[in-house]
Structure formats: C-alpha cells, structure tokens
C-alpha cells in the first residue's frame, strides 16, 4: 500500500495627542490604591457522623442548585495499572445495579439536569424543584455502580483509540516526557497512562479503586445555589448519611528533586518542522505558603499571559512562536514550574537562549514599579471577576478546608496582593526560578535541532528519550563500519522474498480496512507493471474517492467531480505506482545515505535518507534484526507524514506488512488492517484507463 497526497494584516493605529501630563498618564500604569476588603459570599458547614464534610453556599438569584462530592485523595501509585483511577471514575455514571446508562441519561435529560463522574468524585446540577430526583440518581451512581464488563470494554476501546490519536502528537509527547522527568517514575505524579498499562487493566482494578477510596471520611459535599442551609443539611443527611466509612491509607513519597545541573532531554520526532520546548522542574510550593502571593505576581510578570516578558520577547519581539508562557503551580504535595513554546526548527536554540535570558533576568533584577503595578492590577481584576460566580465561593470554602487555610485567607487576598513588593518578587524568583537546575525538554527533529542544543546542557551532552520518557541509548545505535545503504536495502529485499521472486510480480492488489470515528473505511490499491496505479476508497458501500494512473496520465474522482493529475502530482503517482520501488534504488538517479541507527517503537532500525530521480526526499527505517522496512517519513509543507508498517505475513512466497499506520494526513492516525493480498491475477489495463 502506498500513500497519495495532494498539496492542495489588518493594521490598526491609534494616535494620542494632548498635553504632556496626558502623555505621561498614558505611559505609566496607574498606581495601586488601597485594597478594599472583599465581601465574600457566606458559606456554612457541618460534619456528618460518617465524616462527610458538608459545605453550603446559598445563592438565590436563580432557582438552581448543584451538588459536588469531592474526594480528598492521597497520592496513588498505580504502577503497571496506570489509568485504573480514571477508568473507575468515568465508569461510575455508566450504569448502576438498578439503572442502565441509557436510563440514567434519559432520567437526567427529562429534568434538564446534568450529571458526571470522575476519579475525584461526582457532580450534579438541576433546577431546585428537581433536587430530590437528581440526588436519588446521583447517590445511586455513587453508591451502587454496576461496573459492567460491557461498558468497561467499550470505554477501554475508546481510550486506546484516544491514546493512538495522541501517540504522535508532539504536544502530547512533550506532556508525557515532561511529567516523567519532572517527578520521576517512582513518584505517583510521574506515572503516565499508556497503551500497555491500559491493556493491563481489568474490571477488578476499577472496582478495587472504588472500594478503597470512595469513602465519606475523605470526602466533601459542596452544595451551591437556591437552597437554605437547614434544608441542605437535611438533604445531606437523607441521601449521604448512610455512606459507610472506611480506612484510607495515606502513602507518603519523597519530594522529587530538580536535576543537579541543567540537562537537555530530547525526543526525536523525525521530519518535524518545529520543536516543542518545555523548561521544567518540581518546586516546593503549596497553596497558602506565605510567599505564594509574591510567587503569583512574579510568574505573572514572567509569562503567565500575553503581557508577560516571555510573550513580549519571544513572540512579539523575536517572532519565534505564536506564544510563549510560564506557569508556577502550587500543589499540596509537589508544585511545578514550566516555561514552554513551540518554535521553528531553525530558531529552537535561539528561543531557548531567550527563555534562559528572561529566567535569569527576573532573578537578577528587581522589577520596575510600573511592571509590578500592572501585574497586580491584572491579577486583582481576574480575582474580582471570579467572585461573580457562586462556584468560586464554594471552591474557596473547599480549599480552606482541604489545605487548612486561615479562615480569612481569601477575604484578605487583595490586601496581601497590593502589599507585595519588588523585593519580595525577586526573592520568590530566586527561590522558584532555577534555570541552572532544570530539564530542558525538546520534542523535535534530531537532525535539524539536537546538536545545536548541547551548549545548554551543563554536561555538554544530550539525553535522549522515547515518547514515554524511557531513556534511549544513542551510543548503542552505532552501525558497522563496513555496512552500506545498499546492504540494508538488499537485506530488506531478501527478507521479504528475494529479488528474483519480487521480479516475478506483475500485478498486486491489496485490500485494507480501517475505522474513522466509528465509520468503516475500505481501501483497495491495485498496481500493475509498468507504472499503473488504481486506488479506490469506499465507506458504507459508497465510493469516497478513486484515483487512476495509466503510466502517463492520472485522474482523481470524488463523487461527480473529477480532476486531472498533472505536473509534480503525476510524477508522484508514477513513483507510487512502482510495486517494489526498493528494487530500483540501485539505478541511476537514486541517492541513498545511511545515517545511522535509531530506536523505532522499541526496535533498533537503520535509517536511510532516500532521494528519488524526481527529487522526492524521504527517510526510511529498516529493522536491524528482521531487515523489514518499518517506517517511512516524508516532509511536506503541512508537516511530516509518517507511515509505519508491522505484522509482516507471507503471501505466495512474499512477505507483506498487514498493518499500516499513517500519521500526519489527518488530525488522527489512520490505521489500516490488510484483509487480502492478491498477486499476479492478470489485472486488465481497463482498470487503470484514464478517459
């Protein structure tokens, strides 16, 4: 099977004229005035006998009420069953011992309510008059989950599909690797859910999580809306009073440490035209820490938004990216710092230079009063807007309980904010911004980027990782000195049947099936020597597209519309029409370069850069043990397109891959499973005829 692809300022100026005093006013941010006391909405609380803490926020503006059960979960190490907690939480609302998922959905829709579940608890909202109906369903979901094998299997299949979609997404890869390196694989926060861990999961794992952690003595019930405290208390007792307590073990884990020296951690994404850069490390910052407000102001100045230094420098001034930001996140166990952007290959090193410049500058220099006041005003405005939502008051109350904050922590927030000084901002920067002890995680093209990043690593060496944060030994990828690209190609041709056998093939037809968003897709590719090609794509019995190439002319049809293929596209079809193009690699016009060996999906593979007589360039990978071709990457204007081949099986003495995964042609991977391979069936030339 072969891939076919077709490559298919507003200015606004404002002039301000006037008195010098007016100019001065426009040039500087207004000085912060005295902070007004915040009138927080009142909340009341009560503890039930089973340990459930009930928090009530009355708001009678609208006749609606919400109920949120939040578990105060400890850090949980899932090991090779990573994902069990998420599975259990999401499966809660898929059926109870007395209601199917369809019945739950219908009942919720009938009263115009909403209901969802997660590993952290259950949330429901409805009109006040329907609160009893909602709570009856909500507590049934909470206390009597069915955990059916059917729903588990369905969810598992969907989850694996989502993982496959993100498998080659550079941002998802960066997220996974950053998480593993920042916290370490031995820490719960350093665990990631992979295809392997999901396949390990059983329904019993989900039940075990539910039975262990869904206990009232580590839970909060937050009620917000049109309801009186006394009524809320009665409802809590009625619907949640029978929830049985249980011991929950609170495991402790060592605080992850930032690296002793800055290291560059690289994930190779062959053919990538840009790099995802993330400078990150763990920090000891918890909600409620005395320097937490100063740390928030510091990060706002550095890069939490478009007014931050990172954005202004790397985006507006240097134009290296569409956005560069930083985050400093407190956590009850382990906080984190991150500064990230996606940048073009050719400016990856330059962008990192600017990141490090800004990280050092905010440590070494006191911020100006104007910049300080501007950051305070932005934060204060955001805080004030959040107060318009009743749920904010509920979250404040919940945080006060969970993190054991002073009761006036939020009501005095603006006062603390306005009191932050430039010296305190610098002190926070010196404590939490450590560019000399950081992971510089880069996902990008090794050939175009990696070598230029060595100066940023204190050791002068790059560390390589796979998509899941596992170390990759590039030194173990040295190839034999006497091995040539031609040798690798010969090994491949011999592995799949030998040149003599391949030369006997005059035509071949491959039929493969796929599924896209639940829609069955079938693709039939017919090739006939010399240089004829026919591709038919159908769905649900209807033709989606048809491509014909008779060796000289081509046409592509979609529905009633047809378009002739000429020029470069016709030359591309001619190349794709070759049945075994690798047999031609020794002919004049082909250029092969053996670039080394690299790990591909757990296997070592020789890498060959191929240039065809027509000028097409691509990178091919051949398994060092089996000799099979397992990957091909081609750069395009819209980014790299990757074809992976696996599951080689013998058909009439020739080994064909029976699974192909294409990444880059669609927003998600296209996975094709071969249904049949037919060789030398005497295909009629009419199959390829172009009118």
The string of pLDDT tens digits covering residues 577-591 is 999 999 999 998 999
Radius of gyration of the chain (CA): 30
For residues 377-387, give the mean pLDDT: 91
| pLDDT confidence bin for 15, thresholds 50/70/90 | very low
Selected residue with higher pLDDT from 194 and 26: 194
Integer Cα distance of 643 and 166 in angstroms: 16
What confidence score (pLDDT) does residue 40 get?
A: 62
How many helices (H) and strands (E) in the chain?
20, 26
pLDDT above 60 for 19: no
Which of 310, 181, 205 minimizes the C-alpha distance to 256?
181
Q: Name the residue with tokens 């005093």.
A: 21
Q: How many residues does the chain have?
A: 691
The string of pLDDT tens digits covering residues 204-246 is 999 999 999 999 999 999 999 999 999 999 999 999 999 999 9
CATH number at 485-688: 2.50.20.10
pLDDT above 80 for 203: yes
Share of the chain above pLDDT 70, in %: 94
Helical packing angle, 292-302 and 369-386, nearest 10°: 110
pLDDT above 60 for 386: yes
Read out DSSP for 471-502? EE-GGGGPPPTT--HHHHHHHHHHHHT-HHHH
Is the Cα dihedral 576, 582, 584, 588 positive or negative? positive
pLDDT above 60 for 10: no
The string of pLDDT tens digits covering residues 280-326 is 999 999 999 999 999 999 999 999 999 999 999 999 999 999 999 99
CA angle at 516 for the pair 629 and 193, rounded to the nearest 5°: 70
What confidence score (pLDDT) does residue 387 get?
A: 83
pLDDT above 50 for 6: no
| Half-sphere exposure in the Cβ direction for 585 (13 Å, CA) | 24
Domain boundaries, the chain: 43-240, 263-471, 485-688
What confidence score (pLDDT) does residue 93 get?
A: 95
Which of 48, 503, 398 minimizes the C-alpha distance to 241?
48
Integer Cα distance of 95 and 235 in angstroms: 23
| pLDDT confidence bin for 18, thresholds 50/70/90 | very low
Burial of residue 145 (CB within 10 Å: 0-12, 13-18, 19+) is buried
| pLDDT confidence bin for 569, thresholds 50/70/90 | confident
The answer to whether the beta carbons of residues 653 and 504 sit under 8 Å apart is no
Which of 191, 189, 185, 187 minimizes the C-alpha distance to 254?
187
What confidence score (pLDDT) does residue 468 get?
A: 94
Average pLDDT of every residue of the chain: 91
Integer Cα distance of 678 and 510 in angstroms: 6
- First-to-last alpha carbon distance for the chain, in angstroms, is 24
pLDDT above 80 for 35: no
Instruction: Locate 248 and state its tokens.
Output: 């929950």
What confidence score (pLDDT) does residue 37 get?
A: 55
Selected residue with higher pLDDT from 351 and 389: 351
| pLDDT confidence bin for 12, thresholds 50/70/90 | very low
Q: Name the residue with tokens 């400093």.
A: 328
pLDDT above 60 for 16: no
User: What SS3 state is found at 512?
Assistant: strand
Residue 111 CA, chain-centre distance (Å), reads 35
Which of 377, 379, 602, 630 minimizes the C-alpha distance to 470?
602
Report strand pairing: 462-465 vs 263-268.
Answer: parallel
Integer Cα distance of 349 and 277 in angstroms: 10
The answer to whether the beta carbons of residues 284 and 333 sit under 8 Å apart is no
Integer Cα distance of 87 and 163 in angstroms: 14
To the question of domain 43-240 being in CATH 3.30.56.10, the answer is no
CATH number at 263-471: 3.30.830.10
Which of 633, 591, 582 minimizes the C-alpha distance to 613?
591
Integer Cα distance of 538 and 543 in angstroms: 4
Q: Do domains 43-240 and 485-688 have the same CATH topology?
A: no
Give the global pTM: 0.84
What confidence score (pLDDT) does residue 9 get?
A: 21
For residues 506-528, give the mean pLDDT: 91
Of the candidate ranges 156-160, 253-257, 567-571, the one whose mean pLDDT is the lowest: 567-571
For residues 398-409, give the mean pLDDT: 92
Backbone phi, psi, residue 607, to 5°: -110, 130
pLDDT above 90 for 664: no
In eight-state DSSP terms, residue 396 is H
What confidence score (pLDDT) does residue 34 get?
A: 53
The string of pLDDT tens digits covering residues 470-504 is 999 877 667 888 999 999 999 999 999 999 999 99
Sheet containing 439-444: order of strands:
324-329, 335-344, 274-283, 439-444, 263-268, 462-465, 471-472
What confidence score (pLDDT) does residue 38 get?
A: 60
For residues 372-388, give the mean pLDDT: 92
What confidence score (pLDDT) does residue 39 get?
A: 58
pLDDT above 60 for 21: no
pLDDT above 50 for 194: yes
The answer to whether the beta carbons of residues 398 and 69 sit under 8 Å apart is no
The answer to whether the beta carbons of residues 251 and 74 sit under 8 Å apart is yes
pLDDT above 70 for 641: yes
The answer to whether the beta carbons of residues 148 and 95 sit under 8 Å apart is yes
């Amino acid at each position: 099977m072969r891939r076919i692809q077709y490559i298919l300022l507003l200015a606004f100026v404002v002039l301000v004229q006037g008195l010098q005093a007016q100019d001065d006013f426009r040039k500087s941010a207004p000085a912060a005035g005295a902070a007004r006391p915040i009138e927080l909405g009142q909340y009341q609380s009560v503890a039930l006998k089973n340990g459930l803490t009930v928090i009530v926020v009355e708001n009678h503006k609208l006749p609606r009420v919400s109920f949120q059960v939040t578990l105060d979960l400890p850090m949980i190490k899932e090991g090779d069953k990573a994902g069990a907690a998420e599975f259990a939480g999401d499966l809660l609302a898929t059926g109870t011992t007395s209601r199917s998922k369809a019945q739950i959905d219908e009942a919720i829709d009938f009263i115009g309510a909403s209901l969802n579940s997660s590993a952290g608890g259950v949330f429901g909202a409805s009109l006040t008059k329907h609160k009893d109906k909602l709570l009856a369903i909500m507590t049934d979901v909470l206390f009597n989950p069915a955990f059916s094998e059917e729903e588990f299997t369905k969810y598992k299949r969907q989850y694996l599909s989502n993982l496959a979609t993100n498998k080659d997404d550079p941002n998802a890869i960066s997220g996974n690797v950053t998480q593993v390196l920042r916290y370490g694989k031995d820490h719960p926060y350093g665990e990631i859910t992979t295809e392997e861990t999901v396949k390990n999961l059983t329904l019993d794992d989900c039940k075990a999580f539910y039975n262990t952690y869904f206990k009232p003595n580590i839970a909060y019930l937050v009620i917000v809306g049109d309801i009186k405290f006394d009524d809320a208390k009665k409802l809590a007792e009625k619907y949640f009073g029978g929830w049985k307590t249980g011991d929950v073990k609170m495991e402790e884990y060592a605080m992850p440490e930032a690296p002793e020296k800055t290291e560059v951690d690289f994930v190779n994404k062959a053919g990538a035209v840009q790099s995802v850069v993330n400078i990150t490390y763990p920090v000891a910052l918890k909600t409620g820490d005395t320097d937490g407000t100063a740390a928030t102001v510091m990060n706002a100045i550095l890069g939490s938004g478009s007014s931050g230094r990172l954005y202004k420098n790397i985006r507006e001034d240097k134009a290296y990216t569409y956005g560069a930001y930083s985050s400093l996140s407190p956590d009850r166990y382990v906080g984190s710092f991150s500064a990230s952007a996606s940048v073009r290959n050719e400016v990856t090193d330059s962008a990192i230079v600017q990141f490090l410049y800004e990280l050092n500058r905010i440590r070494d220099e006191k911020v100006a009063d104007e910049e300080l006041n501007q950051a305070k005003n932005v934060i204060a405005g955001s805080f004030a807007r959040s107060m318009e939502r009743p749920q904010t008051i509920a979250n404040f109350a919940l945080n006060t309980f969970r993190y054991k904050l002073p009761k006036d922590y939020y009501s005095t927030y603006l006062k603390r904010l306005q009191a932050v000084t430039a010296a305190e901002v610098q002190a926070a920067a010196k404590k939490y911004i450590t560019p000399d002890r950081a992971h510089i995680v880069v996902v990008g093209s090794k050939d175009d980027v990696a070598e230029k990043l060595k100066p940023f690593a204190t050791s002068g060496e790059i560390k390589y990782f796979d998509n899941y944060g596992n170390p990759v030994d590039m030194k173990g990828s040295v190839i034999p000195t006497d091995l040539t690209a031609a040798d690798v190609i010969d090994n491949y041709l011999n592995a799949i049947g030998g040149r003599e056998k391949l030369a006997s093939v005059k035509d071949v037809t491959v039929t493969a099936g796929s599924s896209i968003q639940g829609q069955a897709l079938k693709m039939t590719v017919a090739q006939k020597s010399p240089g004829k090609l026919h591709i038919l794509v159908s769905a649900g019995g209807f033709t989606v597209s048809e491509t014909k190439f008779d060796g000289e002319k081509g046409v592509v049809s979609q529905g009633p519309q047809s378009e002739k293929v000429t020029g470069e596209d016709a030359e591309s079809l001619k190349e794709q029409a070759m049945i075994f193009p690798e047999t031609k690699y020794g002919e004049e016009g082909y250029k092969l370069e053996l670039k080394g060996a690299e790990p591909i999906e757990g296997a070592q593979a020789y890498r060959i850069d191929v240039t065809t007589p027509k000028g097409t360039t691509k990178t091919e990978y051949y398994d060092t043990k089996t000799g099979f071709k397992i990957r091909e990457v081609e750069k395009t204007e819209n980014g790299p397109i990757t074809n992976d081949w696996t599951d080689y099986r013998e058909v009439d003495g020739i080994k064909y891959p029976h699974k192909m995964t294409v990444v880059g042609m669609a927003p998600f991977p296209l996975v094709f499973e071969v249904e049949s391979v037919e060789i030398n069936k005497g295909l009629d030339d009419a199959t390829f005829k172009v009118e």
